[in-house]
């Protein structure tokens, strides 16, 4: 029996793609640098997967800040935050985001000792979380470390002005740049981290005129927090933004919601229902016949 030729009227079916979902492309350090002097960069902190999912559509950068020590763990400062804590929360934020660039803070004592130690710990953060960059506090004194990291493939967001990890040597949480010497030093710090290769710099707790001036002087985006509207972007702690952290409220925070009373009331209503046996009702239980 002769082999039959395949029918031209019935071509073999085409393979169906496994998924038609379009994957969102994350913003990169190059995208952020390109925003210098143009569209302001929106940054908020995130520490958990659910919060990252809520913030991701609205932010350019999600910062896994060491502020989590105070906001989530009740610490008096950020100094007790460990590298493992930052990595675990960095992973959580990466799972909950798809558009925003994720930056993870390097905690106290994880980078100051030497540039080699800084590289090892930064590399661990990036490989174990998948984040795009790390953030470290310090100006001219950290410039060599920033250059060492960036020249070896680790993008760095710098942080100058008020530096929470140095709060003990700085004399507490206070505005910086009030004196001419202090203002000049902050501007030197800004130029140093920019020249060292940082792709952006957080300017915290700095007199408005100083933040405005250094933003005009350097060629990388400045991200203000308690600084100036002239900065190339702004960052706030999300829990401050929505009223979930009430230990204190910095002057530079604007509250866009006050969720604490709503959460407290929801817990009170739940407790009342449990005590009165109003919850759970039949609709919340398994095997209970539906009432006609």
Query: Any binding-site annotation on 60?
Result: no
Q: Given the DSSP bridges, would you call strands 101-105 and 233-236 parallel, antiparallel or unpaired?
A: unpaired
Residue 81: which region, alpha, beta or left (left: phi > 0; alpha: psi -120 to 50)? beta
Helices (H), 60-162: 68-71, 83-95, 115-129, 143-150
Lookup result for tokens 């569209």:
39
Would the annotation count 135 as a binding residue? yes
Is 5 one of the catalytic residues?
Answer: no
CA dist 97 and 130 (Å) reads 12
Query: What's the DSSP call for residue 62?
Result: E
- Active-site residue, selected from the candidate residues 116, 128, 141, 204: 204
Burial of 82 (0-12, 13-18, 19+ CB in 10 A): middle
Helix (H, G, I), strand (E, B) or coil at 128: helix
Taking a C-beta distance cutoff of 8 angstroms, is the pair 170, 141 a contact? Answer: no
User: Among residues 36, 34, 99, 101, which one has the least CA distance to residue 63?
Assistant: 101
Q: Contact, 99 vs 57, CB < 8 A?
A: yes
Binding-site residues: 66-67, 105, 135, 137
Indicate which residues carry an active-site annotation: 204
Binding-site residues for Mg(2+): 66, 105, 137
Binding-site residues for 3-methyl-2-oxobutanoate: 66-67, 105, 135
């Amino acid at each position: 029996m002769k082999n039959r030729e395949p029918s031209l009227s019935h071509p073999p079916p085409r393979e169906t793609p496994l998924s038609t979902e379009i994957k969102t492309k994350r913003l990169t350090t190059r995208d952020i640098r390109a925003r210098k002097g143009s569209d302001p960069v929106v940054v908020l902190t995130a520490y958990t997967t659910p919060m990252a999912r809520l913030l991701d559509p609205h932010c350019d950068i999600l910062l896994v800040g060491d502020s989590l020590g105070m906001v989530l763990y009740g610490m008096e400062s950020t100094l007790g935050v460990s590298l493992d804590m930052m990595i675990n929360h960095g992973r959580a934020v990466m799972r909950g985001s798809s558009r925003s660039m994720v930056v993870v803070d390097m905690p106290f004592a994880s980078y100051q000792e030497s540039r080699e130690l800084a590289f090892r710990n930064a590399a661990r953060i990036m490989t174990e979380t998948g984040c795009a960059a790390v953030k470290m506090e310090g100006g001219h004194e950290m410039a060599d470390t920033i250059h060492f990291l960036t020249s070896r493939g680790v993008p760095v967001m710098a942080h100058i002005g008020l530096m929470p990890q140095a709060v003990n040597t700085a004399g507490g949480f206070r505005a910086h740049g009030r004196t001419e010497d202090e203002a000049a030093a902050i501007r030197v710090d800004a130029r140093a981290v920019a020249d060292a290769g940082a792709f952006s710099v957080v300017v915290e707790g700095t007199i408005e005129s100083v933040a405005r001036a250094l933003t005009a002087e350097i060629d990388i985006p400045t991200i203000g927090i308690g600084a100036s509207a002239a900065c190339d972007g702004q960052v706030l702690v999300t829990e401050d933004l929505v009223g979930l952290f009430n230990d204190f409220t910095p002057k530079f925070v604007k509250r866009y919601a006050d969720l604490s009373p709503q959460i407290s009331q929801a817990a009170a209503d739940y407790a009342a229902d449990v005590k009165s046996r109003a919850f759970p009702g039949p609709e919340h239980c398994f095997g209970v016949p539906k009432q006609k």
